[in-house]
Structure 1
Amino acid sequence: MHVKPAHHASPSPASALGVDASKVLPVTHYENFPVASWLCPPRLRAPIAALYHFARTADDLADEGPGTAEQRLSELSAYRAQMHAALASGAAESSARQDAAAPALWTGVLGALARQHATWHWPVQLLDDLLDAFMQDVAWTQAQRLYPDRATLLDYCRRSANPVGRLLLHLHQVQDAEALQQSDDICSALQLVNFWQDLRQDIPRGRHYLSEADCQQHGVTRAQLQALESTPATQALVQAQLDWAEALMRRGAPLVHRLPGRAGWELRLVVQGGLQVIRRLRQPRHDPLRRRIKLGRSDYTAMLWHSLWM
């Protein structure tokens, strides 16, 4: 799912996962939600890690470094072309040899993705949707485009977050319409939670995920948001966004009972991770216009407790 975590290095989990480190790249960014954790069925850790690193690399191309918007879009387009070549050939190494300009990191990331795709045959359109969302982020930020309403923002979530859930359900061979909709609800909710959690970081960078319709409804101006000014109106605006995200999360939550064993328990923790962030953001001292929260030990205890009663 397309999340925008704080960038803190963490040790490689490969040995702890019992996965061949040459086949699974390490998770090197802090995440609020589990990524191929020990709860994940061992046979699915490699494909999930491959998906994670594919999306994480694209996210970094869109977000990291000093490049211009044009350079970022060019790199994302090249990354998309390399992805298609890798999936078509079944090995990114061969296509990378044909393009001397391809970064070595792409070879490893897309090689892992291609190896797993040869086994799992993911719908490639879902991978394209993720890249399309990253490119939209770059282009809209450069143009300072605003989301007019929630429907437009949900369309972005459809491409930035929902494909991840559908790709994971594909691994579990769960493909009925109800399960896919519940997955979409959870993933969109997680994306929205990320937006509301990151307001203090996103707004100064020119990323505006609070829709025009919601801002107007609560009488909040862009100037107030740009100043990171916390007022009763901005607090009511944020609370309304949290209500929206929580309603989506709870609508999708029954999906936890459709996945067997460890996978179901990991999804419970993912759902509860999102709900715990919402609970924290509801507290006045955690106003996201003032600071970005980070989950800690007490939050993980609460997540585990709540997951037991889903």
Structure 2
Amino acid sequence: MAPEPTIHSSFEERTGTWQYVVADPATKKAVIIDAVLDYDPTTQTISTSTADALLKMVSEKGYHIEKILETHAHADHLTAASYLQHRLSQQQGSKPPICIGKRIKQVQELFAAKYGIAAAEYEGVFDHLFDDDEVFEIGQVTAKVIHLPGHTPDHIGYHIHDNVFCGDSIFHADIGTARCDFPGGSAKSLYNSARKLLGLPENVRIWTGHDYPACPARCEAVPWLTVGDHKERNKHLSGEVKEDDFLALRRERDESLAAPKLLDPSLQINIRAGRLPRPTPGGGRLIHLPLKITGEEW
């Protein structure tokens, strides 16, 4: 029988992000999924307290991080992948690769063009690009990559034992599913991805990338629900929801959503796998903020 992994979930409240460390208890080998850098948009300051807490836990548990995993290029938080790789290479004497799905290249090219980022700053920053259905090991635990497009075209999940880390595909049952209005997003693809997830055995736990609990109905963030829970309770997917109904629901919902607060800095850092922009001749590191111009340009 395949060994059951040990799963540590850590909730980052400012961005509503769930981060995960998944470990093989027998060998102490582990992976980190969707880690967060702290970013203050008022002062434009990046700090590492959230990532440092993950490193402290990894050290205390005696884990050896084999890989740093991303589900997609996030638009709502800055990834800590590059920082963690740097620190872990010092801490454990080996450099864990940063991994993401193979379609990241089209996302990098799209947003590099939007923000004026040179190819030299994003090409080759991810150490391994997963193929669909690729299998890898975490010690004695087997993991499989699942392509879950919809929220973004590059989006993947990780199926590990009776768990799927689905990133921004399915959220808590009272939230439903992720938005599909980013470039390359597709509600039709998300519907098919959700059907793929809900076609798994009912006991499989779906670990989500975000949660946004709304008091008084629910004040605690919840990292997972089972496939059975979602089939029974998910507000967008329960019952036998038809594709056309889902597309209409998702379209109406997406039209009402504001852009994520950290959209611009997140995408510029995340297509670089968390690396900082190169210093300017004056020594500063800059990100670009697009202007919105009303009326005639001059």
> TM-score band, normalised by the shorter chain?
under 0.3
| Structure with greater proportional helix content | 1
More strand per residue: 1 or 2?
2
The two structures have a TM-score, normalised by structure 1, of 0.27
